[in-house]
Chains A and B, each alone.
Chain A
C-alpha cells in the first residue's frame, strides 16, 4: 500500500537510503498496543461491527404479510434475488467501472509522466491543478458535465452537425455515465502514478535510450514497469469507487438502461419498503466481487510494495 500512500504525502525531506521500507526494529508489544488501541477500536466499532450487522440483515427473512418487518434468520433468498434479478446491473457496474479505469489510465499516464519528468519548476503548480477541482463539489462538477454533454451543449451539437451522433443524445446513455466516472476518479489515477514515477531515476530511462531502445521499447520495458506500483494503486483507487458509484448513473444516465448496482442498493434502502435484506445482499455481493477481482489483479500484477 505504500504506493497508494504517496497520494497525499509531499516528497522531499530525509529519505531513507535505498527506498525500500525498513522493517521495524523496535520490539515493544505494550507501547504498540497502546498506540493501536483507540484506532483499532474505532475500526472495530464503525467498520467491522456494521459489516457484521449488514451480513445479518442480508440473511433476515420478512414476516409474511408485514412488509418492512424482518426476523433473524439464515435465509439466502435475498442473495438469490440479488443475483438473478440484478445481474445486468452488476454487469454494468463492472463494465462501466472497467471502461472508466481504462480511459482514466490513458489520460492520467501522460499527465503524471509530464509532471514527473518534463514539468521542472512547474511541478508544484500542476500538482495543485490536479487536486484543485476536488474542492468544487463532486456533485456540482457532475451536474456541470450534464450541462456540457446536454443535447444543446457544445459537444452534442458538434457531433450532431458532423452526423456522428446516431442516437441524438449523449446524456441518458452509457457514454455519459462512463465519461462522468472517468472524470470524477481521474485524480486518483494521476497521483499514485506520479508518485511512483517521481521516485524513478530518470537516468535509468535514459540508459534505455543509450542501449538503442526506441521510445516505445524504453517505455514498455523500462518506464512502465518502474511505475507499476503506482499504476496498480491508481487502477484500484479508480475502479473500486467507480464500481460502487451511483451518482454518475443518476445524474448523467437514463432511468432504465444505465442503472448500476449502486442505484439499486440506494433505492432498495430508501424507496422500497422491506428492501433492506436485498439491499444488504446486493452490497455484500458487490463487495465480494470487487475483493475477488482485486485479489486476482493484485496477484497477477502485484509487487511486494502494495501491502
Chain B
C-alpha cells in the first residue's frame, strides 16, 4: 500500500469523526470570541477589536464594574434556583403520575405537558404578559422578579416531566416486584429502590431547568418589567455597547458549568463502578 492510499484509507475511516470535530469547533467558535473580547482594550464599543490598545486584564479584575451587571447576574441565579426547585418538584410528581398510574385523563395530561414545549417562546411570553398586565395586576402583582419566577417555573416544568418520564420508563419494573417479593412495603420499596434509580433523571432534569432558566431571554423580556436578568442586561446594553465585563461573566459561567458537569460525571462514575 502506498502512502497516498494509506492516507486515503485513514481519511475514509475517520471522516465522520473529522466532520464531528469540525462541528464541535464551530460550536466553540463564538465562545472563543467571547473569551478573546474579554481582554479587549477598547475605548467606546467592545464590538470590534481595538488594535492600538494592548490586551488588558482590567475587566477581569473588576467584573462588577458596570452599573447593574452583577445585580442582573444575582437575579438570574436566584430566579434559576427557585424555578429549578419548584419545577423539579412539581414535574417529578407529574412524571410519576403519568408513567406509573392508569387513570382517566392521562392522555389529556400528556398533551397538556407537551403543548408548552411546542409553543414558541414569544407566544408564551406574550400570553403571560397579557395575563399579568390585565389579570394579575388587580391583585397587586407587578411585573418584576416574581413574574419572572412564575413564568420560568411554567416553561421548565414540561422539560422536567419529559426528562424524569424517560428515566422512569427505562426502569425495569421487575426491580420493584423483587422488592415486594422481599417483603418491602410500598413506602420502603419506593425510597430504597425506585427513588435512587430515578434520582439521576431528577438531577439531569434539575440541571436542564437551571440552564434553560439562566439563559432564557425571550420570555423574561416580556414578563420582567424593569427587573433585569443577565441575558436581558446584555441584550439591552447591546445598542450602547456591551461592556467587556459581560464577556468575563459569560465565559466564567461557561467554565464553572463545565467544571461542575465534569465533577458530577467523575463522582457519578465512581459511585456506579463498584456495583458492576
- Which A residues form the contact surface with B (CB < 8 A)? 1-2, 4-10, 12-17, 21-29, 31-33, 35-36, 38-40, 42-43, 46-51, 53-54, 57, 107-108, 110-111, 113-115, 117-119, 124, 126, 128-148, 150, 152, 183, 186-187, 236, 240-241, 243-247, 251, 262, 265-266, 269, 276, 279-280, 283-284, 286-287, 290-291, 294, 307
Instruction: Name B207's closest neighbour in chain A (CB-CB).
Output: A8
Chain B 216-259 residues near chain A, CB threshold 8 A: 217-218, 221-222, 230-231, 234-235, 238, 242, 246-247, 250-251, 253-254, 256-258
Q: What residues of B have a CB within 8 angstroms of the CB of A29 in the complex?
A: 101, 103-104
Instruction: Name A199's closest neighbour in chain B (CB-CB).
Output: B170
Q: How far is the CA of A187 from the CA of B272 in the complex (A)?
A: 27
Q: How far is the CA of A269 from the CA of B143 in the complex (A)?
A: 15
A39 touches B91 (CB 8 A): yes
Q: How far is the CA of A57 from the CA of B132 in the complex (A)?
A: 13
Q: What residues of A have a CB within 8 angstroms of the CB of B208 in the complex?
A: 7-8
A43 touches B154 (CB 8 A): yes
A140 touches B154 (CB 8 A): no
Q: How far is the CA of A128 from the CA of B133 in the complex (A)?
A: 40
Interface contact tally, CB-CB below 8 A: 324
**B79 at interface (Cβ–Cβ under 8 A)?**
no
Closest-CB distance, A55 to chain B (whole angstroms):
9
Given the contacts A15-B170, A307-B114, A114 and B19 also touching, CB distance less than 8 Å = yes
Given the contacts A5-B166, A54-B127, A133 and B101 also touching, CB distance less than 8 Å = no
21 A-B pairs (CB sep. < 8 Å): A7-B159, A8-B204, A8-B205, A10-B268, A16-B171, A31-B101, A38-B93, A39-B93, A40-B94, A47-B116, A110-B16, A135-B258, A137-B246, A140-B234, A140-B242, A143-B47, A143-B242, A144-B31, A236-B118, A244-B122, A262-B218
B93 touches A240 (CB 8 A): no
Q: What residues of A have a CB within 8 angstroms of the CB of B110 in the complex?
A: 1, 307
B165 touches A265 (CB 8 A): no
Binary per-residue interface labels of chain B (128-146) against chain A in the complex, 1 for a CB within 8 Å, 0 otherwise: 1111001100000000000
Q: How far is the CA of A288 from the CA of B116 in the complex (A)?
A: 13
Among the stretches B1-9, B22-30, B52-60, the one at the interface with A is: B22-30
Closest-CB distance, A149 to chain B (whole angstroms):
11
- Which B residues form the contact surface with A (CB < 8 A)? 16-17, 19-20, 23-24, 26-31, 33-34, 37, 47-48, 90-91, 93-94, 96-104, 106, 109-124, 126-131, 134-135, 150-151, 153-154, 157, 159, 161-163, 165-167, 169-173, 175, 197, 200-201, 204-205, 207-208, 211, 214-215, 217-218, 221-222, 230-231, 234-235, 238, 242, 246-247, 250-251, 253-254, 256-258, 261-262, 265, 268, 272
B215 touches A134 (CB 8 A): yes
The list of the 6 closest CB pairs from A to B, nearest first, reads A244-B120, A5-B166, A114-B20, A144-B30, A50-B127, A32-B101
Q: How far is the CA of A128 from the CA of B101 in the complex (A)?
A: 35
Q: How far is the CA of A143 from the CA of B243 in the complex (A)?
A: 12
A1 touches B162 (CB 8 A): yes
Q: What residues of B have a CB within 8 angstroms of the CB of A114 in the complex?
A: 16-17, 19-20
Known: A10-B204, A42-B153. 11 other contacts (CB 8 A): A2-B165, A13-B200, A24-B99, A35-B97, A36-B109, A53-B135, A111-B19, A137-B215, A143-B242, A247-B217, A307-B110
Q: What residues of A have a CB within 8 angstroms of the CB of B115 in the complex?
A: 47
B170 touches A16 (CB 8 A): yes
Partner of B197, one of A1, A14, A132: A14
Q: How far is the CA of A24 from the CA of B166 in the complex (A)?
A: 13
Q: What residues of B have a CB within 8 angstroms of the CB of A147 in the complex?
A: 33, 37, 47-48
B197 touches A183 (CB 8 A): no
Q: How far is the CA of A15 from the CA of B121 in the complex (A)?
A: 34
Closest-CB distance, B24 to chain A (whole angstroms):
5
Closest-CB distance, B122 to chain A (whole angstroms):
4
Closest-CB distance, B273 to chain A (whole angstroms):
11
A128 touches B122 (CB 8 A): no
Given the contacts A13-B170, A133-B28, A246-B218, A50 and B131 also touching, CB distance less than 8 Å = yes
Q: What residues of A have a CB within 8 angstroms of the CB of B234 in the complex?
A: 137, 139-140, 143
Instruction: Name B201's closest neighbour in chain A (CB-CB).
Output: A9
Closest-CB distance, A195 to chain B (whole angstroms):
9
Given the contacts A26-B100, A241-B120, A283-B123, A42 and B90 also touching, CB distance less than 8 Å = yes
Q: How far is the CA of A13 from the CA of B76 in the complex (A)?
A: 33
A146 touches B27 (CB 8 A): no
Determine which residue in A4, A50, A269, A287 has the highest number of CB atoms from chain B within 10 A of its CB, and name it.
A50
Closest-CB distance, B14 to chain A (whole angstroms):
8
B24 touches A140 (CB 8 A): no
Closest-CB distance, B47 to chain A (whole angstroms):
6
Q: What residues of B have a CB within 8 angstroms of the CB of A36 in the complex?
A: 93-94, 97-98, 109
Given the contacts A29-B103, A36-B94, A147-B33, A283 and B20 also touching, CB distance less than 8 Å = no
B204 touches A9 (CB 8 A): yes
Partner of B169, one of A21, A40, A131: A21
Partner of A118, one of B17, B201, B242: B17
Given the contacts A40-B94, A40-B112, A51-B127, A140 and B34 also touching, CB distance less than 8 Å = yes
Instruction: Name B246's closest neighbour in chain A (CB-CB).
Output: A140
Partner of A42, one of B114, B127, B154: B154
